[in-house]
Amino acid sequence: MDYFTFPNIDPVLLDLGFFQIRWYALAYISGLVFGWWYCMRLARSVPNNITVKQVDDFMVWAVLGVILGGRLGHVFFYYPGHYLANPIEIFKVWEGGMAFHGGLLGVIVAMLVFARKNKFSVFALSDLVSAAVPVGIFFGRIANFINQELWGRVTDVPWAVIFTHPNAGGLPRHPSQLYEAVMEGLIPFVVLFILTHVFKARFRPGLLTGTFCALYGLARITGETFREEEIPIDFLPFMTYGQLLSLPMLLFGLFLIGWALKQPRLVEKKA
């Protein structure tokens, strides 16, 4: 069978000699810019218990949370031995290597501290962020595909891709990055968009946050079945590391959805 052979795309989109723009960095920048714009737009709608200025101020916190948390998550969740032996490589963020769960923890810490500092419920902020973050995840998975990283398991499906990266072995594999772009990014964004704009889920604080956590957890657990395992878990041979980290997200998301639906609905303010 003739499979699609991945074209040799340069991970550097633009090279000016003294400055480079990589696909990976572009994905993060695009996700953050969209997230900033969308959260600002949502903050203007009712119930408006967080101001547009506060959302604008939080973006610096969010960027730091994503970058520091994502990088440290990659270092300590997946390859602690390698980076402890080569600590200088921890700072080479431009070469890739960001863990979603680490970035999530970084943003959670940033939201908790920022909400406490500004004296409002963390759900006023986390619901906005949850509605926007799937777009960043979508761009990130597309960048993973372009960079030929986090590829899928060997398969004989007609749409299999032969990645040219030396470590891929020249074998047809699932384009799992594209699966995850749809399952972790596109579908959650559409669902959260409908909940936000059609069913006014923001009037039930925590509902959007719980829905995002549940959808991402389920999508990541499902997507990992197609993705080449990075680090085997000796004591859990039937589960990947990504699934192990995503299971608490799924359970917490389901709990938070149930909790939010039991709370009194916020009263819509008159314009």
pLDDT tens for the chain, 271 residues long, are 789 999 878 878 887 777 778 887 888 889 999 999 999 999 987 666 789 999 999 999 999 999 899 888 888 877 887 888 888 888 776 666 778 888 899 999 999 999 999 999 999 999 999 999 999 999 999 999 998 999 999 999 999 999 999 999 999 999 999 999 999 999 999 999 999 999 999 999 999 999 999 999 999 999 999 999 877 776 677 889 889 989 999 999 999 999 999 999 987 655 4
Q: Which helix (H) or strand (E) holds 249?
A: helix 241-262
User: 141 among the known binding-site residues?
Assistant: yes
Beta strands in 121-268 (DSSP E): 161-162, 172-173
Strand-pairing partners, residue 152, are 227
* pLDDT score recorded for residue 238: 80
Helix, strand, or coil (residue 56):
helix
Q: Tell me what pLDDT residue 258 has.
A: 98
Question: For residues 159-195, b (16+ Cβ closer than 10 Å) or e, as one string?
Answer: ebbbbeeeebeeebbbbbbbbbbebbbebbbeebeeb
Cα gap 215→219, rounded to integer Å: 6
Backbone angles phi, psi at 14, to 5 degrees: -140, 125
Of 246, 32, 25, 24, the C-alpha closest to 135 is 32
In Å, how far are 58, 64, 67 from 31, measured between CA atoms? 15, 14, 13
What pLDDT is stored for residue 77 in this prediction? 79
- Residue 247: Cβ within 10 Å count: 15
Tokens of 260: 């939010």
Query: What pLDDT score was predicted for residue 253?
Result: 98
State pTM to two decimals: 0.90
C-alpha closest to that of 123 among 271, 268, 259, 270: 259
- pLDDT for res 271: 45
pLDDT of residue 60: 94
Tokens of 65: 């949370």
Say what the pLDDT of residue 88 is: 83
What is the reported pLDDT for 257?
A: 98
Helix intervals (H) in 74-206: 80-85, 100-118, 122-146, 176-180, 187-197
Q: What does the pLDDT read at residue 54?
A: 95
